[in-house]
Amino acid sequence: MQQMTLPFGLRDCPAVATRVVDRLKQSSNVDLDFSSSSLSSCDLAVDLMRGSHSELTGALFGELVEMGVYVGEVLRREVGGEWVETRRSLLKGLTQMPYVVRLRNGATVNAIEKPLKRFEQGEGDSARALFEAVSLRVRSAPVNKPWWRFW
Mark out the alpha helices in the chain (DSSP H runs): 13-28, 38-52, 58-75, 114-121, 127-140
Name which residue leads in pLDDT, 148 or 118.
118
Residue range 92-116, pLDDT digits in tens: 999 999 999 999 888 999 999 999 9
Q: Give yes or no for a contact between 20 and 70, defined as CB atoms under 8 angstroms apart.
A: yes
How do 108-109 and 81-85 pair as beta strands?
Answer: unpaired
- Using a 10 angstrom Cβ sphere, with 0-12 exposed, 13-18 middle and 19 or more buried, the burial of residue 127 is buried
Q: Is the pLDDT of residue 141 over 70?
A: no
Name which residue leads in pLDDT, 145 or 46.
46
Q: What is the mean pLDDT of residues 7-17?
A: 97
Q: Does domain 10-135 have CATH number 3.30.70.1400?
A: no
Closest CA to 91 of 66, 113, 73, 64: 113
Looking at the chain, the whole-number percentage of residues with pLDDT higher than 90 is 81
What is the distance between the alpha carbons of residues 36 and 38, in angstroms, rounded to a whole number? 5
pLDDT of residue 146: 44
What is the distance between the alpha carbons of residues 20 and 46, in angstroms, rounded to a whole number? 12
Residue range 50-82, pLDDT digits in tens: 999 988 999 999 999 999 999 999 999 999 999
Every domain of the chain and the residues it spans: 10-135
